[in-house]
């Protein structure tokens, strides 16, 4: 566990506000043949296995260097515009898979070992039952995913709604330090998190980690209000204090505010990449077209990258490996935290 004075000194990440993101040049990269050449290949995600904690090979394509630099040392997010999505499903998955492998090393996103996940409406009851809320049409509040880099390829958009929202956790951290450093300090303490998916009988249903942590001057934010509140309700876990609830409320109110939150109406062929350590993401509720072939559909990848930041040891509960530039993430070792 860190203390705020030690952790907050010399953070080297740069936050941004919604006003900064209003300029598309801040986050948009238009893809051309340099980025897209040679992508036609099979979808190898079903049989792919990366060794946990292995070094991630550096991206060999110079055209990708600027993209990766923006993710790690820039604003922490980018939208790649113009990814071809008009092909049959198998060809599209193969193309996306090949591109993801050029950026880094894909890691599993589920305990079943899925490396590419289709994000589409699967029924509210099903999403609620298995804890995979991305399969719901309901609003998704600000959160981070359990990987270094999130990739979302927009294949088909909703009839209405489904607007992507992002916010800089670095900027939120700075504002909390200015307004209420006492509350910010609480988010460096251990909170109980619900294990996201059903576990075998007898396995712990929760683990502990802070919202904020710092290693070598680099910030890491892990946030999911639902998982935190659920984790504190289990037998054996302590209840959230009033002060911790106030700290979470302040964090969330800043993320939701117009000053910090930027809305993006993304289109088919847009590939959004997000560094989870420094950027939160959310989504508004949406309505699908009646025809199944016209429903909102995205392809999602979780990536480890060669130039990822080192993490504080408290992040081992989520990432397993805390050294930078390694294969890491919630399911990358085939286990969940105890």
Six-digit token pair at 20? 């900064």
- Give the CA angle between residues 147, 148, 151 to the nearest 5°: 80
pLDDT of residue 127: 45
- Looking at residue 202, its pLDDT comes to 66
Give the count of beta carbons closer than 10 Å to the beta carbon of residue 246.
15
Asked whether 230 and 194 are in contact (CB, 8 A), the reply is yes
Average pLDDT of the chain? Answer: 91
Q: What percent of the chain has pLDDT over 70?
A: 91
Q: How many CA atoms lie within 13 A of 220 on its CB side?
A: 27
Q: Measure the CA–CA gap between 70 and 63, rounded to whole angstroms.
A: 13
Nearest to 334 by CA among 23, 22, 51, 28: 51
Q: 202: closest CA among 326, 68, 338, 323? A: 338
Three-class SS of residue 57? coil
Residue 137 has pLDDT above 70, yes or no: yes
Looking at residue 64, the DSSP 8-state letter turns out to be: G
pLDDT confidence of residue 198: 63
CA dihedral 225, 228, 230, 231 (to 10 degrees): 170
Which of 36-40, 120-124, 151-155, 246-250 has the weakest average pLDDT? 120-124
Long-range contact set of residues 285-288: C-beta below 8 Å, sequence gap at least 24: 285/137, 285/138, 285/139, 285/161, 285/162, 286/137, 286/158, 286/159, 286/160, 286/161, 286/162, 287/137, 287/158, 287/159, 287/160, 287/161, 288/121, 288/137, 288/158, 288/159
pLDDT of 303 strictly over 50? yes
pLDDT digits (tens, 9 = 90+) for 91-119: 999 999 999 999 999 999 998 899 999 99
pLDDT at 130: 43
Rounded mean pLDDT, 22-40: 94
Check whether 2 has a pLDDT greater than 90.
Answer: no
pLDDT at 335: 44
User: From the CB of residue 38, how many other CB atoms can be counted at a distance below 10 Å?
Assistant: 10
Determine the pLDDT at residue 91: 92
Contact (Cβ atoms closer than 8 angstroms) between residue 155 and residue 91? no
Tokens of 223: 């946030």
Domain residue ranges of the chain, discontinuous segments joined by +:
4-319
Asked: is 4-319 a CATH 3.20.20.190 domain? The reply is no
Could you tell me which of 144, 139, 164, 165 has the C-alpha nearest to residue 154? 164
Q: What is the pTM of this model?
A: 0.93
Structure tokens at 172: 């939120």
pLDDT given for residue 129 in this prediction: 45
- Residue identified by tokens 């953070």 is 11
Is 42 or 165 the better-scoring residue by pLDDT?
Answer: 165
CB 234 within 8 A of CB 46: no
State pLDDT tens for residues 188-207. 999 999 998 766 566 789 99
Written as six digits, the tokens of 83 are 């990814």
147, 153, 173, 187: which is closest to 276 by C-alpha?
Answer: 147
Tell me the pLDDT tens digit for each residue of 234-253. 999 999 999 999 999 999 99
**CA neighbours within 13 Å on the CB side: how many for 50?**
27
Does the pLDDT value for residue 319 go beyond 80? Answer: yes
CB atoms within 10 A of CB 138: 14
Whole-number Å distance between alpha carbons of 337 and 256: 30
Which residues of 123-202 form beta strands (DSSP E)? 140-143, 149-156, 160-161, 164-168, 191-194
């Amino acid at each position: 566990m860190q203390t705020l004075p030690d952790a907050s000194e010399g953070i080297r990440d740069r936050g941004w506000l919604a006003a900064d993101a209003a300029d598309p040049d801040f986050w948009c990269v238009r893809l051309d043949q340099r980025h897209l050449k040679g992508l036609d290949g099979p979808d190898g995600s079903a049989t792919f296995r990366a060794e946990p904690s292995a070094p991630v090979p550096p991206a060999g394509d110079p055209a990708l260097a600027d993209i990766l630099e923006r993710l790690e040392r820039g604003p922490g997010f980018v939208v790649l515009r113009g990814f071809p999505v008009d092909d049959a499903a198998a060809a599209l998955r193969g193309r996306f898979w090949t591109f993801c492998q050029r950026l880094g090393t894909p890691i599993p996103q589920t305990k079943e070992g899925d490396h590419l996940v289709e994000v589409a409406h699967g029924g509210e009851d099903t999403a609620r039952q298995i804890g995979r809320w991305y399969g719901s049409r309901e609003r998704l509040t600000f959160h981070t995913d359990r990987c270094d880099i999130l990739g979302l390829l927009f294949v088909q958009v909703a009839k209405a709604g489904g607007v992507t929202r992002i916010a800089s956790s670095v900027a939120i951290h700075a504002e909390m330090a200015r307004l209420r450093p006492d509350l910010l300090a609480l988010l460096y303490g251990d909170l109980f998190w619900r294990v996201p998916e059903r576990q075998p009988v007898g396995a712990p249903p929760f683990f502990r980690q802070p919202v904020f942590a710092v290693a070598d001057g680099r910030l890491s934010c892990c946030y999911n209000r639902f998982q935190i509140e659920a984790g504190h309700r289990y037998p054996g876990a302590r209840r959230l204090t009033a002060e911790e609830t106030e700290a979470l409320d302040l964090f969330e109110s800043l993320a939701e505010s117009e000053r910090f939150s930027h809305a993006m109406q993304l289109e088919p062929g847009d590939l959004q990449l997000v560094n989870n350590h420094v950027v939160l993401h959310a989504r508004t509720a949406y309505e699908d077209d009646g025809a199944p072939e016209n429903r909102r559909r995205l392809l999602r990848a979780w990536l480890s990258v060669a130039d990822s930041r080192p993490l504080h040891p408290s992040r081992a509960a989520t990432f397993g490996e805390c050294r930078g530039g390694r294969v890491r993430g919630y399911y990358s070792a085939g286990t969940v935290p105890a």
